[in-house]
């Protein structure tokens, strides 16, 4: 076996990578995600695209280890999805269907868990076996790697870090229906919300007033020494750091990897999270390392490929 495919299905595009089994990314490309008619074309489109690539590269099926896929939904260990928010699928036996379409072995995982696996295999968690990845984007996603394997759970909903309750006093609701979820404070929209609330609190001078608020604007102001921006980031860091301390008490990782759009703020972000983490971490976990994700959008295809190996 020399090669494998890593496939990362999103609501708009499907990202695909061709890898050697040693982890070299030989080629990557995208196809459109056709979600119409309950997403019935998605898997056939993928199968067709993989077949074309194998013909182009003159790769035989016997040289392929198989196909790993990440999906934006809970996935059971046997590759079955019950429902998806943005692919159009209801109940779908993804593993079985794609195996029938391609004649190759298929492994399926949740996209956040798969991205975590990618960072462990080829990115910021390289060489580690116990890792937490937090993805700070529009929402907060996550993946927990235990002894080299993603924590899938009984409903395929393991690692839902964004919905840890971090504030029992909160009255605003999270998209999930609960109140006080980490996602309400540590996602891009959460940070914007913290900023909005801070600006409304008093009329402290800050460069954030009069501009469109965003997580990026807050971190940019922080880097220019803005005091109010620092208060906002400190609050974000406390929520995220304390949540990670609780998570570490359970999962005992050697490294916590922070990725997603918000992490583009860079190393400055890690300090605020790590300081608050250390303040509340159980003694056995105080030396847990914090690092930024390094694979960006490729984490999904990398982790998907690793799933099948």
Instruction: Tell me which residues touch a copy of itself (CB under 8 A).
Output: 74, 77, 128-130, 144, 146-147, 149, 151-161, 163-165, 168, 176-178, 242, 245-247, 249-254, 280, 282-285, 288
User: What minimum distance in Å lies between the beta carbon of 284 and a copy of itself?
Assistant: 4
Q: Which of 91/283 has CB closer to a copy of itself?
A: 283
Judge residue 187's burial from the number of C-beta atoms within 10 Å of its C-beta, 0-12 exposed, 13-18 middle, 19 or more buried. buried
- Closest C-alpha to 207, from 187, 180, 232, 239: 232
CB contact at 8 A, 241 and 277: yes
Q: How far apart are CA 95 and CA 304, in angstroms?
A: 13
User: What minimum distance in Å lies between the beta carbon of 113 and a copy of itself?
Assistant: 11
Q: Which of 152/188 has CB closer to a copy of itself?
A: 152
Q: Which of 14/144 has CB closer to a copy of itself?
A: 144
Residue 120 neighbours by CB under 8 Å, 6+ apart: 126, 128, 129, 131, 145, 148, 303, 306
Strand partners, 26: none
User: What minimum distance in Å lies between the beta carbon of 80 and a copy of itself?
Assistant: 14
Q: Which of 1/176 has CB closer to a copy of itself?
A: 176
251 membership: H or E segment, kind and range: helix 227-251
User: What minimum distance in Å lies between the beta carbon of 103 and a copy of itself?
Assistant: 28
User: What minimum distance in Å lies between the beta carbon of 184 and a copy of itself?
Assistant: 14
Q: Which of 97/252 has CB closer to a copy of itself?
A: 252
């Amino acid at each position: 076996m020399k090669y494998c495919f890593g496939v990362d299905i999103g609501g708009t595009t499907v990202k695909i990578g061709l890898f050697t089994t040693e982890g070299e990314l030989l080629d990557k490309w995208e196809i459109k995600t056709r979600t119409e008619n309950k997403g019935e074309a998605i898997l056939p489109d993928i199968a067709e695209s993989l077949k074309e690539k194998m013909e182009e590269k003159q790769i035989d099926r016997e040289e392929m280890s198989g196909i790993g896929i990440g999906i934006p939904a809970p996935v059971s260990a046997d590759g079955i999805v019950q429902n998806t928010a943005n692919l159009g699928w209801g109940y779908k036996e993804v593993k079985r269907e794609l195996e029938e379409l391609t004649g190759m072995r298929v492994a399926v995982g949740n996209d956040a868990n798969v991205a975590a696996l990618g960072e462990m295999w080829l990115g910021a968690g390289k060489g580690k076996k116990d890792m937490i990845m937090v993805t700070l984007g529009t929402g907060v996603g996550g993946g927990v790697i235990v002894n080299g394997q993603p924590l899938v759970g009984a409903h395929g909903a393991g690692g839902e870090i964004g919905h840890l309750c971090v504030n029992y006093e909160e009255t605003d609701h999270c998209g999930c229906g609960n109140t006080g979820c980490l996602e309400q404070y540590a996602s891009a929209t959460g940070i914007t919300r913290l900023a909005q609330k801070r600006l409304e609190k008093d009329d402290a001078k800050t460069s954030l007033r009069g501009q469109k608020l965003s997580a990026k604007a807050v971190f940019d102001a922080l880097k220019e020494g803005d005091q109010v921006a620092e208060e906002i980031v400190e609050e974000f860091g406390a929520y995220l750091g304390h949540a990670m301390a609780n998570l570490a008490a359970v999962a005992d990782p050697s490294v916590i990897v922070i990725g997603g759009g918000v992490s583009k703020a860079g190393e400055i972000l890690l300090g605020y999270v790590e300081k608050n983490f250390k303040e509340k971490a159980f003694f056995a976990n105080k030396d847990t390392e914090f690092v930024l994700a390094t694979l960006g959008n490729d984490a999904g295809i990398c982790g998907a490929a690793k799933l099948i190996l």
